[in-house]
Amino acid sequence: MSGKILVVDDEKHIRMLYQEELEGEGYQVVTSDGEEDILELLARVKPEVVVLDIKLGPNRSGLDLLQEIRGQDQALPVILSTAYDSFQHDLKSIAADYYVVKSVDLGELKGKVALALEKSRASA
């Protein structure tokens, strides 16, 4: 399977883990710590799917970045990834296509990435 995935997470070990695992599935993976402008990054990378951490350090929220992404692109699949499932109930999170709780087992994430790619290609 191929496709370009953008992983945005402030934790380097998570970015590296996701990149290694997703590249092992045949995806092309670009990572970001969430510090750069998300719209510029999207324009440069042109991902088919975004995996977005909800908590990006003390002053950055993945939910805010999700709103920026949706302001520009309603069709780009976004998978919210977090260690806290309580964010599921935040109204801002409803703009995401999928939601995964971080786990050592990345089976759920890989499954959501495959679904998101199908969705992305169906709407293209």
How many domains does the chain fold into? 1
Residue 93 lies in a domain: no
For the stretch 72-113, pLDDT in tens is 999 999 999 888 666 555 666 667 888 888 887 899 999 999
Contacts within 8 Å (CB) and 24+ apart, 30-38: 30/4, 30/5, 30/6, 31/6, 31/7, 32/6, 32/7, 32/8, 33/8, 33/9, 34/8, 34/9, 34/10, 34/60, 34/62, 34/65, 35/60, 38/8, 38/65, 38/68, 38/69
Residue 99 lies in a domain: no
Q: Are 33 and 59 in contact (CB under 8 A)?
A: no
| Residue type, position 94, single letter | I
Residue 95 lies in a domain: no
Residue 103 lies in a domain: no
Taking residue 84's Cβ as centre, other Cβ atoms within 10 Å add up to 10
- Could you tell me the pTM of the whole model? 0.89
Residue 57 lies in a domain: no
Residue 12 belongs to what domain range?
1-46+69-76
Residue 10 lies in a domain: yes
Residue 100 lies in a domain: no
User: Is the model's pLDDT at 8 over the cut of 60?
Assistant: yes
Residue in the structure block whose two tokens are 């709407």: 123
CA distance 8 to 41: 10
Question: What pLDDT is stored for residue 121 in this prediction?
Answer: 82
CA 112 from centroid of its chain's CA atoms: 10
Residue 8 lies in a domain: yes
User: Is the model's pLDDT at 15 over the cut of 60?
Assistant: yes
